[in-house]
Structure 1
Amino acid sequence: MTRARKNLIDLAATSYYHLFVRCVRRAFLCGDDNYTGKNFDHRREWLIKRMKLLSSVFAIEIAAYAIMSNHYHLVVNVNRREALDWTDDEIIERWYQLYNGHTLVDRYLNGEQLDETSLRFFNEIVATWRERLYDISWYMKNLNEHIAREANKEDNCTGKYWEGRHKSQALLDETALLSCMAYVDLNPIRANIAETLENSDFTSIKERIVHFKAFNADTAKQSNPPKHKDNNQHESQPTALKPFGGNQIKHTLPFALLDYIELLDWSGRHIVLKKKGHIDNATPSVLLTLNIEVAQWFESVHRFRKLYSNFAGSKQRLKQQAATNDVKWYKGTG
């Protein structure tokens, strides 16, 4: 049964969501087009650049991404508290980076003293913009419409570029978050178009590894390298992505970066059995910490989108969410 989109985003249940969009007719409109012989990899760069710009404006942080030839994945965190803490002036400044403003707001910015009725209307406008700046639908609408317009302009055509609106999965617990991020980052390896994490172009894991290695190389050249471990941990990660930090550091992903890289490298070697190098049979520590069975892990890495529907998590969390939403069950509880 189709559910209203407003019932699929429940920030009281979780702030993490997996988002997925496919090109129209599943055409290769972001990679090699076998029909025309053209390569459209630059459009994948458009997507990455645009989603990072939007994340700098919206209170929506990027945890993981993979831009494939005919579809893309995003794992995001909605930071509603941050948006609620922004001042009215910050809201206006952010909104004006993307959209046309309002004449009443322009009057306020020009220093005009607003009467009581105008001020009430002004507050309603800003309140609406505030809500939209942590709204996944507004984020995705802006992202997809921008790319569609640019692609149609380049192709000198009109019409749909995406199959439809984005699909979403709410990630209800840490296991679901970790599994989904790995599923997204391992897309190129699973599709046999990359053999290593560092060769997995247009993914967040490649960006994280490249940045981490560059940071370590620069640090090694310094005569007085930084001593503060927490600061190093943030500086060694891309600023446009939500940082790893573990449960000890607030406002970070609840895992350590090196543990995550180790887990993905280990998982990738099992996915691509022909890959060179020794496959360590020792289970990565993060799986032991979260008490995730190896068989369950590989099932998630291979089939995450098919294992769950709009909500993903443990059987207990899915049952709780189903009861909250007054439905009998969610896929994944069986």
Structure 2
Amino acid sequence: MTRARKALVDLSSTSYYHLIARCVRRAFLCGGDKYTGKNFDHRRTWLVERVKLLSSIFAIEIAAYAIMSNHYHLVVKVNRQQALSWSDNEVISRWYKLYKGSPIIDKQRNGDTLSEAEQLLVSELIEEWRARLYDISWYMKNLNEFIAKKANKEDKCTGKYWEGRYKSQALLDETALLSCMAYVDLNPIRANMANNLEDSDFTSIQERIRHFKDAKPNAQKSNQNNENAHQKKQPKILKSFGTREYENTLPFSLFDYLELVAWTGRHVHPKKKGVILKSVPDILVSLKIEEATWLGRVQNYGTDYGNFVGSKTVLRAYAAKNDVSWYKGVG
């Protein structure tokens, strides 16, 4: 049964969400089309560029992404507090980067005198825009409409480009976040489209690895407690790893995450199963997650969970909070 979006996005419970959108029609509209022989990989570049632009405007940060042939995955963090901290002028400036705005706002920006009623209208508009700038639905609407219009113009056609409304999953605990990010980053490996993480095109993990390798040698060798050096090792547009020692970062070490995804990839790759690293990644040890449990979670992520992801305890508690008896993933 389709649930109302407001029942799926609850920022009081979690700020992390997994978002998925799929193309309509039979052709691979974002990759190689085996029916026409055309290649549409440039559209995957459109998606990556648009995602990054929107994340520089919205208070929605990108933790992971994977742009596949006919669908894409995003793992995002909604930073509501950031949006609430913006000044009115900041909200207006960000909104105007995407939309025409409003004549009454233009009047205020031009320094014209406003009546009391007009001032009230300005305040209401700014708060409405502020709320939209940390709203996942507005973010996805802007992303999907932009890509659909551009693709249809290129194809010289009209009609639906996306299958339907996007799917969202609330990531209710750290293990849910970690497994979802690994699942997203490993999509090309699982689909046998790449043999290793560095060749996994249009993924966040490929971008993170390349950025780290391209970082200046002095940044690589500097003290781990140096926050500036720590940030230089990671792409600015993606949410940084940092463990709890760094404020407002993903609660894991970048090195631990790369080790974990590489280790997991050796298990899930169709041609490399059985070729594994001997040691268990430190991050699994620290989170007390069994190897088999972790691998099963990543390999079956797409089928084991619905709109909410977390431990059985967390899912049961969240179901009770929303006055329902059960969520997919409990058992």
Out of 261, 265, 287, the position equivalent to 2:262 is 265
Asked whether the equivalents of residues 192 and 270 of structure 2 are also in contact (C-alpha less than 8 Å), the reply is no
Matching of residues 158-307 of structure 1 within 5 Å: 158-217=158-217, 219=219, 227=223, 229-272=226-269, 274-275=271-272, 279-307=276-304
Instruction: Report deviation, 1:279.
Output: 2.2
Instruction: Report deviation, 1:115.
Output: 1.4
Instruction: Report deviation, 1:66.
Output: 0.2
Aligned to 1:155: 155
Out of 299, 313, 316, the position equivalent to 1:316 is 313
| 2:243 aligned counterpart, secondary structure | coil
- CA–CA separation in structure 2 for the residues paired with 1:318 and 1:26: 36
- CA–CA separation in structure 2 for the residues paired with 1:252 and 1:231: 13
TM-score normalised by length of structure 2: 0.96
Aligned to 1:117: 117
- CA–CA separation in structure 2 for the residues paired with 1:291 and 1:182: 17
Instruction: Report deviation, 1:201.
Output: 0.2
Root-mean-square deviation (CA, aligned residues, Å) is 1.6
- CA–CA separation in structure 2 for the residues paired with 1:2 and 1:58: 26
Q: Deviations over 1:96-135 (max 9, x none)?
A: 0001110000001001121111111111100100000000
- CA–CA separation in structure 2 for the residues paired with 1:111 and 1:13: 42
1:131 matches 2:104: no
- CA–CA separation in structure 1 for the residues paired with 2:26 and 2:243: 37
- CA–CA separation in structure 2 for the residues paired with 1:229 and 1:277: 39
Instruction: Report deviation, 1:316.
Output: 1.0
Asked whether the equivalents of residues 267 and 274 of structure 2 are also in contact (C-alpha less than 8 Å), the reply is no
- CA–CA separation in structure 1 for the residues paired with 2:273 and 2:6: 46
Instruction: Report deviation, 1:2.
Output: 2.2
| CA distance 1:26–1:66, change in 2 (3 Å) | farther
Once the two structures are overlaid, the 10-residue window that deviates more, 128-137 or 319-328, is: 319-328
Identity of aligned residues (%): 63
Instruction: Report deviation, 1:226.
Output: 5.2
Aligned to 2:324: 327
Matching of residues 23-42 of structure 1 within 5 Å: 23-25=23-25, 27-42=27-42
Once the two structures are overlaid, the 10-residue window that deviates more, 24-33 or 178-187, is: 24-33
Asked whether the equivalents of residues 180 and 300 of structure 1 are also in contact (C-alpha less than 8 Å), the reply is no
Aligned to 1:101: 101
Asked whether the equivalents of residues 95 and 129 of structure 1 are also in contact (C-alpha less than 8 Å), the reply is yes
Q: Deviations over 1:39-65 (max 9, x none)?
A: 000000000000000000000000000
Aligned to 1:11: 11
| CA distance 1:266–1:330, change in 2 (3 Å) | same
> Runs of 4 or more off by more than 3 Å in structure 1?
216-220, 225-228, 273-278
| CA distance 1:147–1:273, change in 2 (3 Å) | closer
| CA distance 1:145–1:273, change in 2 (3 Å) | closer
Gaps of 5+ in 2: none
| CA distance 1:71–1:83, change in 2 (3 Å) | same
Asked whether the equivalents of residues 26 and 70 of structure 1 are also in contact (C-alpha less than 8 Å), the reply is no
Asked whether the equivalents of residues 256 and 281 of structure 2 are also in contact (C-alpha less than 8 Å), the reply is yes
Instruction: Report deviation, 1:293.
Output: 1.5
Q: Deviations over 1:183-219 (max 9, x none)?
A: 0000000000100000000000000000000004575
Asked whether the equivalents of residues 219 and 230 of structure 2 are also in contact (C-alpha less than 8 Å), the reply is no
- CA–CA separation in structure 1 for the residues paired with 2:171 and 2:113: 46
| 1:141 aligned counterpart, secondary structure | helix
- CA–CA separation in structure 2 for the residues paired with 1:24 and 1:256: 38
1:51 matches 2:51: yes
| CA distance 1:45–1:315, change in 2 (3 Å) | same
- CA–CA separation in structure 2 for the residues paired with 1:5 and 1:52: 23
TM-score normalised by length of structure 1: 0.95
| 1:122 aligned counterpart, secondary structure | helix
- CA–CA separation in structure 2 for the residues paired with 1:55 and 1:22: 20
Residue-pair matches, total: 330
- CA–CA separation in structure 2 for the residues paired with 1:70 and 1:254: 31
- CA–CA separation in structure 2 for the residues paired with 1:216 and 1:264: 24
- CA–CA separation in structure 2 for the residues paired with 1:26 and 1:264: 31
1:60 matches 2:60: yes
